[in-house]
């Protein structure tokens, strides 16, 4: 059986494939694993199962045959099935409906959502294409795990095509309150799309409650605790959808190993030397996105410098802004604004060899990220709204000596678990400033105690536990639904 007709027992589907098309110095093109939270989280699951991953390869108007990805963090491999998107679909489905309509709406309307019917039509078309690709490569009774807000229609479309499949959906971003979700002109269609799944997972219990209220208010279906009876075209006429919070995690062992790796630790010391060996290194690592609160962080830091409560003589802020959605106008404006702010603060307060802010607009491989984590005494996570924030968990897991402080937004999902971080409201600039000073001046004993508690939590609730728990629950719910359908079929 060739790659194009092979069928798999586990299929993961997401908007982007976990690989990037790269060109070397000789002009030769190849595939490299891409950084990012979703890839980091699901890579171990895929390598264990030798499953298939369906997604867009990151290049518009380009067709690629399926291929196998090898040599991941665990030395395993999995298969990749690229879905072709045209330049126009990229503009309408991805940049438009996914990132200019859904993303801001689901993140508390930090930026105003835009509603265009032509974007919605493209979203439907692309979701159908994804569903058809998944249906074609899924073995009988396979488990399909659909990821995130770009593909909310896939569960229902897939159930129509392949009612034998166990279909799960995981929402990596927040699910908005009903008052916000109600603005969406296609709210009923989105909910019906999600209810094609057997199991819907959210990051926080708050997200699950918001979803439950939306189903009740829009569709008139009253959930029973965490179960919704959804109509479908099976002999039973319906299936049960379970939903709940399944907070995502990281491969904690990998980051702990990086934290102990002598080469990574040497690189961390080198980073501090290159900064002039300041007494305090503060770190921010974020995708360049308006939900991450980078502007609020810079404002707080700039005011501390202005007030003389911190000094470039002994403190440096490293801000890594990973490029994101650079074709979207909102993001281009955000980059300009942040870079102007950094330039102003550096112009006002830097001295020769001592920048107030070391600003890096690019992504880094995992080992280098771990070195930055180790080089930092304080990590600032000031998200205005965040489904989870895996950077916070990676930072904690890497600091094997328990010698750092996490300042964490209470609006990030990670705050539900990392309760001994210094929790802040990022809109409260004075509160953020006080948290930075508290982190800087914290005693060794308190720093160790707080970090030890967080490291234990991250180590116990690692990504394997998350994925195993979710997939086990999905298979249980799906089996019950298949049983009910089979019994109804016999009755007919």
Domain covering 252-461, topology: Rossmann fold (3.40.50)
Residue 69 tokens read as 């990805």
Whether the CB-CB separation of 219 and 188 falls below 8 Å is answered with: yes
Parallel/antiparallel/unpaired status of strands 138-147 and 8-16: parallel
> Which residues partner with 213 through β-bridges?
none
Residue 124 tokens read as 């439907």
Residues 6+ apart with CB under 8 A from 385: 107, 108, 110, 174, 291, 411
Whether the CB-CB separation of 373 and 395 falls below 8 Å is answered with: yes
Whether the CB-CB separation of 372 and 285 falls below 8 Å is answered with: yes
- Reported pTM: 0.94
Parallel/antiparallel/unpaired status of strands 52-56 and 77-82: parallel
Interatomic CA distance for residues 388 and 458, integer angstroms = 13
Task: Please write down the HEC assignment for all residues of 182-205.
Answer: CCCCCHHHHHHHHCCCCEEEECCH
In DSSP notation, 117-172 reads: HHHHHHHHHHHHHHHHHHHHHEEEEEEEEEESGGGTTHHHHHHHH-TTSEEEEE--
pLDDT, block means (10 residues), the chain with 492 residues? 70 92 81 70 76 94 90 71 97 96 96 97 98 97 97 97 97 97 98 98 98 97 94 86 96 94 98 95 96 97 98 97 85 93 97 93 94 98 96 98 98 98 98 98 98 97 90 95 74 56
Whether the CB-CB separation of 399 and 264 falls below 8 Å is answered with: no
Residue 18 main-chain phi, psi, to 5 deg: -80, 30
In DSSP notation, 334-380 reads: HHHHHHHHHHHHHHHH-BTTB-SEEEE-S---HHHHHHHHHH-SEEE
- Closest by Cα among 303, 264, 268 to 283: 268
Residue 196 main-chain phi, psi, to 5 deg: -75, -15
Interatomic CA distance for residues 438 and 422, integer angstroms = 9
Same fold, 8-248+465-484 and 252-461: yes
Question: What's the half-sphere exposure (Cβ side, CA atoms, 13 Å) at 363?
Answer: 13
Q: Which residue has the tokens 């859904």?
A: 102
Q: Which residue has the tokens 């488990």?
A: 143
What residue segments make up the domains of the chain, in order of their start? 8-248+465-484, 252-461
What pLDDT is attached to residue 2? Answer: 44
Residue 222 main-chain phi, psi, to 5 deg: -95, 110
CATH class of 8-248+465-484: alpha beta
Whether the CB-CB separation of 282 and 380 falls below 8 Å is answered with: yes
Count of CB atoms situated within 10 Å of the CB of 108 = 15
Q: What is the per-residue burial (b if ≥16 Cβ within 10 Å, else e) of 408-447?
A: bbebbbbbebbebbbbbebeebeebbbbbeebbebeeeeb
Interatomic CA distance for residues 154 and 367, integer angstroms = 35
Residue 64 tokens read as 């690629």
What pLDDT is attached to residue 3? Answer: 45
What totals of helices (H) and strands (E) does the chain contain, helices first?
17, 17
């Amino acid at each position: 059986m060739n790659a194009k007709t092979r069928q798999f027992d586990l299929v993961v589907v997401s908007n982007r494939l976990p690989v990037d098309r790269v060109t070397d110095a000789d002009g030769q093109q190849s595939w490299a694993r891409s950084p990012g939270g979703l890839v980091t989280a699901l890579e171990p699951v895929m390598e264990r199962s030798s499953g298939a991953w369906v997604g867009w390869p990151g290049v518009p108007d380009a067709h690629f045959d399926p291929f196998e990805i090898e040599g991941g963090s665990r030395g395993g491999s999995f298969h990749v099935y690229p879905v072709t998107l045209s330049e126009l679909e990229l503009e309408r489905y991805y940049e438009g409906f996914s990132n200019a309509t859904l993303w801001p709406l689901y993140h508390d309307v930090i930026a105003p959502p835009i509603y265009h019917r032509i974007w919605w039509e493209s979203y439907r078309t692309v979701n159908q294409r994804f569903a058809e690709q998944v249906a074609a490569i899924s073995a009988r009774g396979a488990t399909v795990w659909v990821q995130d807000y770009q593909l909310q229609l896939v569960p229902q479309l897939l159930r129509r095509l392949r009612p034998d499949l166990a279909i799960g959906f995981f929402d990596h971003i927040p699910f908005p309150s009903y008052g916000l979700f109600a603005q969406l002109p296609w709210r009923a269609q989105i909910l019906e799309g999600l209810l094609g799944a057997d199991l819907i997972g959210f990051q926080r219990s708050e997200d699950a409650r918001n979803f439950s209220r939306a189903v009740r208010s829009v569709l008139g279906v009253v959930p029973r605790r965490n179960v919704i009876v959804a109509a479908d075209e099976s002999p039973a006429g319906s299936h049960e959808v379970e939903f709940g919070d399944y907070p995502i995690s990281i491969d904690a062992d990998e980051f702990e190993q990086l934290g102990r790796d002598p080469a990574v630790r040497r690189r961390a010391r080198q980073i501090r030397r290159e900064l002039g060996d300041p007494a305090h290194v503060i770190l921010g690592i974020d995708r360049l996105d308006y939900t991450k609160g980078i502007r609020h962080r810079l404002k707080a830091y700039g005011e501390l410098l202005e007030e003389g409560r911190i000094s470039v003589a002994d403190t440096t802020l490293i801000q890594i802004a990973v490029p994101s959605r650079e074709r979207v106008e909102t993001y281009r404006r955000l980059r300009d604004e942040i870079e102007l702010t950094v330039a102003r603060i550096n112009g006002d307060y830097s001295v020769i060899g001592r920048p107030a802010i070391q600003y890096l607009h690019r992504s880094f491989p995992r080992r280098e990220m771990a070195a930055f984590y180790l080089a930092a005494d304080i990590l600032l996570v000031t998200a205005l709204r965040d489904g989870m924030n895996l950077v916070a968990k990676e930072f904690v897991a890497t600091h094997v000596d328990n010698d750092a402080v996490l300042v964490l937004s209470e609006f990030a999902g990670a705050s539900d678990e990392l309760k001994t971080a210094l929790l802040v409201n990022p809109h409260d600039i004075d509160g953020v400033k006080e948290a930075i000073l508290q982190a800087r001046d914290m005693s060794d004993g308190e720093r160790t105690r707080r970090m030890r508690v967080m490291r234990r939590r991250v180590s116990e609730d690692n990504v394997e536990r998350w994925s195993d728990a979710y997939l086990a629950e999905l298979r249980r719910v799906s089996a019950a639904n298949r049983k009910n359908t089979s019994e109804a079929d016999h009755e007919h």
